[in-house]
Amino acid sequence: MKAVICTAWGEPEQLQVQEIDNPLAGAGELIVQVKAAAANFPDLLVVRNQYQAQPVLPYTPGRELAGVVIGRGAGVEGFAIGTRVFASQETGAFAEQARVHTSRAIVLPDNIDFDAAAALTVTYGTSYHALLDRAQLRAGETVLVLGAAGGVGLAAVDIAKAVGARVIAAVSSREKAEVCRAYGADATVIYTEEDLRAAVKSFTDGRGVDVVYDPVGGKFSEPAFRSIAWRGRYLVVGFADGEVASLRLNLPLLKGASLVGVFWGEYSRREPAAFQADMQVMMGWLQSGRLRPHIAQRYSLAEAGQALRALANRTAIGKLVVCPDLG
């Protein structure tokens, strides 16, 4: 089969497509014919040897996929050959076939396309866990989402609107702001041009936001924290800016606020039943049209490096998916 292979740490352009042996299913595992595999910022960090958990070289990148079961290992219950599934794991999705443990796989209803399903685990999973579990977001509350047109950011906008929250979307361009408006954002701020705190203050009549969703870090984290309301919750999701911001601890004290860490990958491994339950809820929302993953572009396996480059260049909007059928 064809697979994207990373043989050395570096930039995404060095990824190559190679012909390698088909994977074999171990106990409790499936072989999935991959139809769509979404690109995520952590894939870029791993290729650059900058992620908290690194695989051994050579390896195949890609951490979420959707496809069809074509093989089953010993002890697998359900998941008959031909079943449509979606799944997430650390590596191996940018390939024609992937080995997936059944604990990481979910049956995909016939009326959901592979592209949308491939985008549902990491980004929607992270934002659902962050907003509804870690921050206990309630209808009527206001959320400030940084990097709101990115993968996890747009998922956060979509989920927050689905549960009846008000959303302020902070982005770096007018084009990104328009996409967030189309996803229901009540206000947008171009934080690279406008003063973030002043914009939030004006939109909330000086009260501040109940929840901040921060996958960006860097220089925006402190003004975002200072924009929080009494009893607010600040979600530390990621550091796409490249800089891990520092915060003076008097700030949470003054607001009676919580600084809340979000680590979806670890959550989904340590709490597999909760991971499966979250996915079932979101799949129901997807089927009823309550969620709408934004698939901006499709890439062949040979173009997987270009998808990761678009994330690095800050040009991606919503999700980018790698589709082995495109070559």
Ligand X SMILES: NC(=O)c1ccc[n+]([C@@H]2O[C@H](COP(=O)([O-])OP(=O)(O)OC[C@H]3O[C@@H](n4cnc5c(N)ncnc54)[C@H](OP(=O)(O)O)[C@@H]3O)[C@@H](O)[C@H]2O)c1
Closer CB to ligand X, 30 or 316, in the complex: 316
Identify the residue whose tokens are 């190559």: 16
DSSP code, position 21? P
Would you count residue 172 as binding ligand X (CB under 6 A)? yes
Would you count residue 324 as binding ligand X (CB under 6 A)? no
Would you count residue 61 as binding ligand X (CB under 6 A)? no
For residues 190 and 172, the answer to whether their CB atoms sit within 8 Å is: yes
Q: Give Cβ neighbours of residue 277 (< 8 Å, ≥ 6 apart).
A: none
Q: Which listed residue (316, 321, 322, 323) binds ligand X by CB under 6 A? A: 316
Closer CB to ligand X, 134 or 255, in the complex: 134
Identify the residue whose tokens are 């870029």: 44
CA distance 41 to 39: 7
Task: List binders of ligand X among 269-308 (CB under 6 A).
Answer: none
Stretch that binds ligand X, among 2-10, 66-74, 147-155, 193-201 (CB under 6 A): 147-155
CA distance 228 to 209: 5
Q: Which listed residue (2, 103, 263, 298) binds ligand X by CB under 6 A? A: 263
DSSP code, position 63? -
Question: Rounded to a whole number, what is the distance in angstroms from the first to the last CA of the chain?
Answer: 11
Q: Report, in Å, the least distance between residue 35 CB and ligand X.
A: 20
CA distance 30 to 148: 35
Site string for ligand X, 107-146 (x = CB under 6 A): ---------------xx--x--------------------
DSSP H/E element including 204: none
Closer CB to ligand X, 41 or 114, in the complex: 41
Residues that bind ligand X (CB under 6 A): 40-42, 45, 122-123, 126, 147, 149-153, 171-172, 176, 215-216, 237-242, 262-265, 311, 314, 316
